[in-house]
C-alpha cells in the first residue's frame, strides 16, 4: 500500500482535495463546487477519493486550508491547519521553484503573494469587491447565456476591446449593458470585461507591490485564457500557469502534512469520515459584555470542538475534557 498525504482546501466557491505520494507526485485531485455547504462538499470528496483509491494508499498525514479550515480540520482529523497564503506559497515553491510573484484569482477572493528566495515577504488579499474575482465573470457569463468555458475563447477573438468601468461589479455590469445597446461585438465586450477585471485586480490587490518574474498565475480563473492574456498585456510579462493551478492550496497542504507528520502518527480519521453525522451549530455566550458567538461542532451527536470565544471559557473546557 502506497504511503500518501491528503490536502483539503475549502473555499466559498470550490472545495479542492489532493492526494500526494511521498515522492511529491500528485496521485489524485478533485475540484468540487462548495455550494454553501462545506461539510457536504468535503464528505463528497472523501467519498470519491475513498472509492477510487481507498485500498491503494495509506494516508500518513492530512492538512487543511481555506475559509472553512477549522471546521474541516475537525471533520477529517487534520495534522496541520494553515492559512491560504502559506499553503499557496509552499505549493509554488515546490512546483515552480524560483517563482517571485504569485497571482491568485479565485471565485470569491483574490490575492497576491510576493516571494523572494523562497520566502514570503509580502502579500495582499481582496475579500470584499466581486469585480476582481471569478464570481463576477460567472455572473456575466450567465447573464449573456454563455458557458463560462467559452468566455476566454471569445475574448481572444476580439478586434477592438471596449473599455468597461471595472472599479465596481455593479457599475461594470451597467456599463457592459450600455456597450451592448450601442452594438459592440460580443467578443469585444467580453475582452473589455477581462481587461476590467485585471485593472481592478492590479489597482487594488496588487497596488504598490513589486511584481517580478517569474510570475505564477493560479486559482480557478487561471483556466480563462482571456484573463491570462489581459494580465500578460497589462504586466508586459509572461505568466506561468502550473499544471495544478486550480488546487494549489490543497497541494500545499499535502506538503505541509508530510512535514508535520515525519515523527508522529497522523490524526486522519480515514475515508469513513465521509459518513459521519457531522453538524456545526452556534450559540451566543452571555457570560460577559463581549457576547461571543461560539461555534459548537457535533460528530454523531457528541460535541467534538468549540471555538469563537475570546476568553477560552468554552474552547479550553472542550480541549481539556474532550466532551
CATH of the domain at 199: 3.30.420.40
From first to last of the 323 residues of the chain, give the pLDDT tens digit: 899 999 999 987 889 999 999 999 999 999 998 888 899 999 999 999 999 998 899 999 999 999 889 889 999 999 999 999 999 999 999 999 999 999 998 777 789 999 999 899 999 987 555 555 666 777 777 777 777 777 778 888 887 788 876 666 566 677 777 777 777 888 888 888 888 888 888 888 888 999 999 999 998 888 889 999 999 999 999 999 999 999 999 999 999 999 999 989 999 999 999 998 888 888 898 888 888 998 888 888 888 888 788 888 887 764 433 43
Cα separation of 221 and 124, whole Å? 18
Could you tell me whether strands 80-81 and 215-218 are parallel, antiparallel, or unpaired per DSSP bridges? unpaired
Q: Which helix (H) or strand (E) holds 137?
A: helix 134-143
Q: Are residues 268 and 222 in the same domain?
A: no
Q: Are residues 254 and 236 in the same domain?
A: no
User: Residue 305 contacts by C-beta under 8 Å, 6 or more apart in sequence?
Assistant: 74, 295, 296, 297, 318
Could you tell me whether strands 57-66 and 2-10 are parallel, antiparallel, or unpaired per DSSP bridges? parallel
Last residue of a domain, one of 215, 241, 267: 241
Last residue of a domain, one of 186, 216, 241: 241
Largest CA distance in the chain: 68
Q: Are residues 304 and 269 in the same domain?
A: no
Amino acid at each position: 500500500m502506497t504511503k500518501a498525504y491528503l490536502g483539503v482546501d475549502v473555499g466559498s466557491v470550490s472545495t479542492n482535495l489532493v492526494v500526494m505520494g511521498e515522492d511529491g507526485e500528485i496521485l489524485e485531485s478533485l475540484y468540487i463546487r462548495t455550494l454553501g455547504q462545506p461539510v457536504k462538499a468535503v464528505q463528497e470528496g472523501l467519498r470519491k477519493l475513498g472509492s477510487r483509491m481507498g485500498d491503494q494508499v495509506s494516508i500518513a498525514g492530512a492538512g487543511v486550508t481555506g475559509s472553512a479550515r477549522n471546521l474541516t480540520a475537525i471533520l477529517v482529523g487534520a495534522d496541520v491547519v494553515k492559512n491560504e497564503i502559506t499553503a499557496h506559497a509552499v505549493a509554488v515553491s515546490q512546483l515552480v521553484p524560483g517563482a517571485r510573484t504569485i497571482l491568485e484569482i479565485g471565485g470569491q477572493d483574490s490575492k497576491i503573494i510576493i516571494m523572494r528566495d523562497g520566502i514570503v515577504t509580502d502579500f495582499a488579499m481582496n475579500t470584499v469587491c466581486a469585480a476582481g474575482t471569478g464570481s463576477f465573470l460567472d455572473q456575466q457569463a450567465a447573464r449573456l447565456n454563455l458557458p463560462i468555458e467559452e468566455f476566454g475563447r471569445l475574448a481572444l477573438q476580439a478586434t477592438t476591446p471596449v473599455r468597461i468601468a471595472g472599479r465596481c461589479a455593479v457599475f461594470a455590469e451597467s456599463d457592459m449593458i450600455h456597450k451592448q445597446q450601442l452594438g459592440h461585438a460580443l467578443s469585444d465586450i467580453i475582452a473589455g470585461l477581462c481587461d476590467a477585471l485585471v485593472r481592478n485586480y492590479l489597482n487594488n490587490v496588487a497596488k504598490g507591490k513589486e511584481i517580478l518574474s517569474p510570475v505564477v498565475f493560479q486559482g480557478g480563473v487561471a483556466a480563462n485564457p482571456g484573463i491570462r492574456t489581459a494580465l500578460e498585456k497589462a504586466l508586459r510579462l509572461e505568466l506561468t500557469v502550473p499544471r495544478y493551478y486550480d488546487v494549489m492550496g490543497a497541494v500545499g497542504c499535502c506538503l505541509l502534512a508530510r512535514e508535520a507528520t515525519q515523527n508522529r502518527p497522523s490524526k486522519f480519521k480515514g475515508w469513513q469520515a465521509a459518513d459521519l453525522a457531522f453538524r456545526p451549530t452556534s450559540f451566543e455566550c452571555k457570560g460577559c459584555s463581549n457576547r461571543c458567538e461560539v461555534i459548537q461542532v457535533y460528530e454523531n451527536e457528541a460535541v467534538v470542538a468549540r471555538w469563537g470565544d475570546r476568553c477560552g471559557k468554552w474552547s479550553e473546557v472542550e480541549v481539556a475534557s474532550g466532551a
